[in-house]
Amino acid sequence: MDILTFPPDYWDGPRHNRHYFCEELSKQHKVLFASPPFYLVDLLRKYGKGLLPNSGVNYVNENLMTYIPPKFLFTNYRFPNLNNKLRDMRVNRIKKLMHKHSMQKPILLMWHPVFNDMIDYFEDSLLVYYIYDNLSGYVGSDPSKEYEAEVELIKRADITFALSKELYDKNKKYSKNIHLLPNAVNYDLFKQSRDDATTVPSELADIPGPRIGYIGTINEKVDLNILECIAEERPEWSVVLIGRDNYQTEEKQRFEEFLKRKNVFRFGYKEYSTIPSYIKGLDALLMCYVINDWTFYGDPSKMHEYLASGKPTIATALPAMKEFEHVIDIPEAPEAWVDAIEKGLNEKDDEMKKIRIEVAQQNSYENRAKRATQIINDAILKKA
């Protein structure tokens, strides 16, 4: 089975479930990870400043190729005729790359409706759409409006995967064949947070304990009320934040003020492979999200990454979390987070640690890829 996939980002950079999922699929199948073209405005702003990834082909492993179109084959929204010609040129380059690697009649795996214009060009055997987020709930979007391009893609897809039950329920009316396929964990990597051989980075080890940590992108989805309450109520705790921030609103100013507290420590983006070493250096792990039209539909990938460590994990009451109340704490008010963290720090139950690890192991990307492959094979047989 050959897989041509169109993600909304690049291979190098912040990791998402599409990266893990495609990497797991590549253990058994050829995968071409075709990143989006550069948007003309971004190209004009960033060209020559070292802010854009290099174009071309890169081989992650023997079955997984990544491709970034040349910068002169950009995309734009002002000149449709030019855009169509540039798209056709991008399509031809991808076809040549597929031919070179003997990829035929691929599974077309789509991650975003912005790539709808790439459908119908590759003689695909199956069109698959993986809904990973509530796109209409993003900051600046109108949640009252259906994302028309996404609805069109769901209706056309032979198979639709939904990352959460909430996304499944919201979109099942549009799909002829939809399946729940939640987030998972690269278990072999994240179990390293328990290994004696794993070294805690010195920048983290030098911070006084206990260390209460959040790992992930920091933006409007993070509940600053919770973080502020923890830092205020327990000045003897170290609040550690690991990840890039990409605030789009004035909330960034509040975040910058929060960083001035003496017991708050901020690290930027860390390479994916190093995250287990940072988890090892933390004593309690946070998934502190606000609940809105964006996060309500989510299924955070870090949940199982945290659980693979066996450490106490405290989370917001998102619907996707409630299924795991037996292994994570879900306090309601910000003040209750302090008590939940304290409970976790004082935990003596090794059995609970074992249960968390077992849950993470059951929710590995290996298991997710096996299930997805079976669903795809069944659909191919039915279509044939």
Residue-by-residue pLDDT tens, the chain, 384 positions: 999 999 999 998 778 889 999 999 999 999 999 999 998 888 888 876 777 888 999 999 999 999 999 999 999 878 889 999 999 999 999 999 999 999 999 999 999 999 999 999 999 999 999 999 887 765 455 555 567 889 999 999 999 999 999 999 999 999 989 999 999 999 999 999 999 999 999 999 999 999 999 999 888 889 999 999 999 999 999 999 999 888 888 889 999 999 999 999 999 889 889 999 999 999 999 999 988 777 787 778 889 999 999 999 999 988 888 889 999 999 988 889 999 999 999 998 889 999 999 999 999 999 999 999 999 999 999 887
Helix spans in the chain (H): 17-25, 40-46, 80-100, 148-156, 165-171, 187-190, 202-205, 224-233, 251-258, 275-280, 302-307, 319-322, 334-345, 350-362, 365-383
3-state SS, one letter per residue, for 80-114: HHHHHHHHHHHHHHHHHHHHHCCCCCCEEEECCHH
The whole-model pTM stands at 0.86
The CB-side HSE value for 282 (13 A sphere, CA atoms) comes to 28
Q: Are 69 and 37 in contact (CB under 8 A)?
A: yes
